[in-house]
Amino acid sequence: MKFKFWGVRGSIPSPGPRTARYGGNTTCIEVRSDDDTLIVIDGGTGIFALAQSLIAQKKVPVHANIFITHSHWDHIHGLPFFTPLFIKGSRVRLHGTTDPDTGNGIEHVMGVQLQNSYFPVSETQMDATIEYRTLGLGEAIMVGDAQVSNVVMNHPVIDLGYRIECHGKSVFFTGDHEPHYNIYPEDHPDHASYQLHIEERTRAIEDMVRGVTALIVDCSYTREEYPAKQGWGHGTFDSALAMAIKAGAKRLYCTHHEPTRSDDELEAVFAEVMERHAAILPEGLQVFLAYEGLEVEL
């Protein structure tokens, strides 16, 4: 199994000379199972470059399984530009869950974007076969020779983290995730019940990531930046390292880079965090800054 990053920025695309080394496209990860099944996690702007690569390699028509973590723009706004949607014989299956607040399923993601006010081509004009698969929370499904499982993460909208396993190797991507914290003060009557709730959700995440080969985590902020961003649904480099250590992960890939952070600033932040944690990192844990084009074979 192998995976490749096609987009590593968060919130909004940020192309230009300040982000040229790590890339300015938003979230998209290509995963290939051992039998070459194509699994794509998220459809940020990076999915357009993935599509162009598939065409350049003449890997068309395309059979793609796209798993959406959540419906915020930076994770879906490349979907209408996924060129295989316009190629006859291609089959694209979009996976996601139902938003409990609206009741909308994964098909709503494409339906909204392909309204005439926002995009000139309707789904009926696309030549590929497009299918939708609404996932149950915690459901595990087989895609080719890989098993894809999900768990609910912590974000302002429902967000699924995905674990993909194939012949003893595994990769997990958090999507956007902020470590749980109690929103009620200790003297509030709802503090205790909410604490039980977040402990249950945290255990579910820990169970899902335990022993993973490669862990890909939202590392939007530094610990100094985080207090001003609490509640926005994103993690820090420190919280990502804590997750990797507790999971016993072999590799950690930091992604969802802050769009205002230049490549130089990103490397400086990463170096400071790694130096500060050097004494407590378990032997064998490798930590990387994700960049566009980074390909990893497990």
- 24: tokens are 């300015």
pLDDT single digits (tens) 84-115: 999 999 999 999 999 998 999 999 988 989 99
35 burial via Cβ count (<10 Å: 0-12, 13-18, 19+): exposed
All domains of the chain in start order, with CATH: 2-297 (3.60.15.10)
Q: What average pLDDT does this structure show over 48-76?
A: 95
Percent of the residues in the chain that have a pLDDT greater than 90, as a whole number:
96
Place 21 in a pLDDT band, splitting at 50, 70 and 90: very high
Q: How many CB atoms lie within 10 A of CB 58?
A: 6
The 3-state DSSP class for residue 212 equals coil
SS (H, E, C) 74-137: HHCCCHHHCHHHHCCCCEEEEEECCCCCCCCCCHHHHHHHCCCCCCCCCHHHCCCEEEEEECCC
| pLDDT of 40 higher than 90 | yes
Q: What average pLDDT does this structure show over 160-186?
A: 97
| pLDDT of 48 higher than 90 | yes
Mean pLDDT of the chain: 96
| pLDDT of 298 higher than 90 | yes
**Does pTM top 0.95 for this prediction?**
yes
Q: Are 222 and 261 in contact (CB under 8 A)?
A: no
pLDDT single digits (tens) 120-156: 999 999 999 999 999 999 999 999 999 999 999 999 9
Place 59 in a pLDDT band, splitting at 50, 70 and 90: confident
Which residue is it, tokens 């999971």?
A: 247
Give the pLDDT of residue 43.
98
